[in-house]
Amino acid sequence: MTRIKLYLPVGVFGVLAVVLFLGFTLRDPNLLPSALIGKPFPAFDLPVLGAAGERAGREGLLGEVRLVNVWATWCPTCLAEHGELMRIGAETGLSIIGINYKDDPQLAVEWLRQHGDPYDFNVVDDAGDLGVDLGVYGAPETFLVDAGGVIRYKRVGDVNPVVWRDEIAPTLAGLAGWQKVEAVLGDER
């Protein structure tokens, strides 16, 4: 009995080592889960980028499945993912809405002219208030919003072909109101 007790430390350490190993190999400590999956997209009322006087709100998102992308010209990763957004917009016909986050609108317009514009429209979130409502903590972040305006998926960091294939396209496939699923998945397969 007493002898067995001496094995306790090495046993505890074994458990600890497994936890450390799993934690170390499996996770990205900087990634936060979104608290908003399954919740309605927050209401907003913001100017539309490049269209003086025009404003857009949550109603503007309803009726169709949308990919909502938070981006800025000061964010290098946004440029890195831009090509993939262009491809998604062109090949799948998925509606993409941009939130130009804490940015200079003039630079943003120029940036879109230079790198191409996959967005149906952009809203200008200068102060970052919509960002706070969306739980954004850095750019880029991307949300998949269903036709009823409910957030179904969130990606922190760049959207790339792997993320599209493994995460966005399958989520999309489960959404009512998205007609081109088969075509999309067929492409990817």
Interaction between residue 183 and other proteins (CB under 8 A): no
Contacts of 8 (CB under 8 A, 6+ apart): none
Interaction between residue 32 and other proteins (CB under 8 A): yes
Interaction between residue 107 and other proteins (CB under 8 A): no
146 near 128, Cβ under 8 Å? Answer: no
Q: CA 103, CA 24: separation in Å to the nearest integer?
A: 36
Query: Which residues does residue 40 pair with via DSSP β-bridges, in sequence order?
Result: 150
Shortest Å, Cβ 60 to other proteins: 21
Interaction between residue 38 and other proteins (CB under 8 A): no
Binders of other proteins among 44-103, rule CB under 8 A?
102
Neighbours of 46 (CB within 10 A): 19
172 near 144, Cβ under 8 Å? Answer: yes
Shortest Å, Cβ 17 to other proteins: 6
Interaction between residue 33 and other proteins (CB under 8 A): yes
Interaction between residue 20 and other proteins (CB under 8 A): yes
Shortest Å, Cβ 37 to other proteins: 10
Stretch that binds other proteins, among 44-52, 82-90, 134-142, 165-173 (CB under 8 A): 134-142
- What CA–CA distances, in Å, run from 110 to 81, 90, 105, 118? 17, 21, 9, 14
- One-letter amino acid identity for 55? R
Q: What is the CA 18 to chain-centroid distance, rounded?
A: 32
Interaction between residue 173 and other proteins (CB under 8 A): no
Stretch that binds other proteins, among 31-39, 83-91, 115-123, 171-179 (CB under 8 A): 31-39
Query: Which residues does residue 97 pair with via DSSP β-bridges, in sequence order?
Result: 68, 121
Residues that bind other proteins (CB under 8 A): 2-3, 6-7, 9-10, 13-14, 16-17, 19-24, 26-27, 29-30, 32-36, 39, 102, 127-129, 131-138
